[in-house]
Structures are given as C-alpha cells and as structure tokens.
Amino acid sequence: MRKTRAKAKKAAGIRIIGGRWRGRRLPVADVPGLRPTGDRLRETLFNWLQPSIHNAHCLDLFAGTGALGFEAVSRGAGPTVLVEQNAAAIRGLERSQTMLAADSVEICRADAVQLCSRPPAFSCAPFNLVFIDPPWSESSQQQIMQSLVENAWLAEDALIYIEMPVRQEFSPSLQLHEIKRKTAGEAMTLLFCYKKI
C-alpha cells in the first residue's frame, strides 16, 4: 500500500503550497533516493522563513524536484540557484522552470559537494538562504556546511536549512547557530543562522 501511494504521489507531482504559484504541481522524476520534502515540513519551514524570504538570494543544493527552491521564489525570493547532479531530475527542473516562467531561477548540473568545495561562481552569491537536503544514503551535510563557510558562499545572517535522518550525528561550525529544530517521523529538520567571526 505504501509503495502504491508513493507511486501515485510521484505521478501526480508535488504541489507548491504558497505564494504566486500556489497549487501548481512540479514533476517528480523516477530517481533513486529522491525524497521530496512533504507539504507539512515545507509549511513549517516557510513559516520559519517568511520574515526573511523577500528578495533573498537562494541556493537549493540536491534540488531534486526543486520543491524548496521554487517554493521560495513563489513566496517572493530573489535569484535562486538549483543544483542537481541527476540528468532525469535536471530535465524535471527544466520542465518546471519553463512551466512557471521562472526567469529568476538558474539550474546548475553539478555535484553539490564538489561545487561547494571552491568559491561560488554565481553572480547572485553570496546567498541569504540555503537548502541542504541530500539523499539519506549520503551524509554530506556537515561537509557542505563547512565548505559554505570556508569558501564565502554565505551572506551575513544567512539562513541554512538542513533535512536529515533523526539518527544522524551532526556538529555544526561555531559560526552556525541553531535557531529552529523539528522532528517528523524519521526526518529531522534544522535551521541555522550564519554569523561571521
């Protein structure tokens, strides 16, 4: 039954839940490990972010369906970069970008870990808002967070959202201050604020 529901959800697409594109559906590519953030978690996340999202420069790493990045733009974010490595997922992102006429969204095919290991080459960097939600088979959140700090990807007071398994250990840099945390089933979500030293 669970697999049937998951297949039905993929076929229906994932819904944008707020802003100018509210109700529009994004395609969900058949990609191993692709696990779009559900409606309830996204609602919680964007309630947290609402005071800071207007015109924010956003970076969505491991974008998958682009649900977080497109949701941010729908709610008023500025230039947004979606980073994804999988070719099928990239095609889905491009379809969504075209469907929504999302001119402020840039799609980058790259390995997020390698990309963040060097300074950003995007004109909209540094970023005010970063989403990090890799497949749970990877545990690269801590490495990426460190790279973002060391390689000047983050604006002062940038907000960084992380989604990961509840049991995964995580020790952030001293420059990253946890401000929100929520557990939902097997998922733990955290929101950090970056402060330059």
Res 137: pLDDT = 66
Left if phi > 0, otherwise alpha if psi is -120 to 50, otherwise beta: which for 95?
alpha
Residue 26 one-letter amino acid = L
- Residue 60 sits in a domain whose CATH number is 3.40.50.150
Rounded to an integer, what distance in angstroms lies between the CA atom of residue 171 and that of residue 191? 13
Res 142: pLDDT = 84
Res 11: pLDDT = 55
Give the bridge partners for 130, in sequence order. Answer: 59, 160
Domain that holds residue 19: 2-194
Total domains in the fold of the chain: 1
Q: What is the pLDDT along the chain (197 residues), one digit of tens a residue?
A: 334 444 444 556 899 999 999 999 998 988 776 777 778 888 999 999 999 999 999 999 999 999 999 999 999 999 999 999 999 999 999 999 999 999 999 999 999 999 999 999 999 999 999 999 887 667 788 889 999 999 999 999 999 999 888 887 777 777 899 999 998 888 889 999 999 87
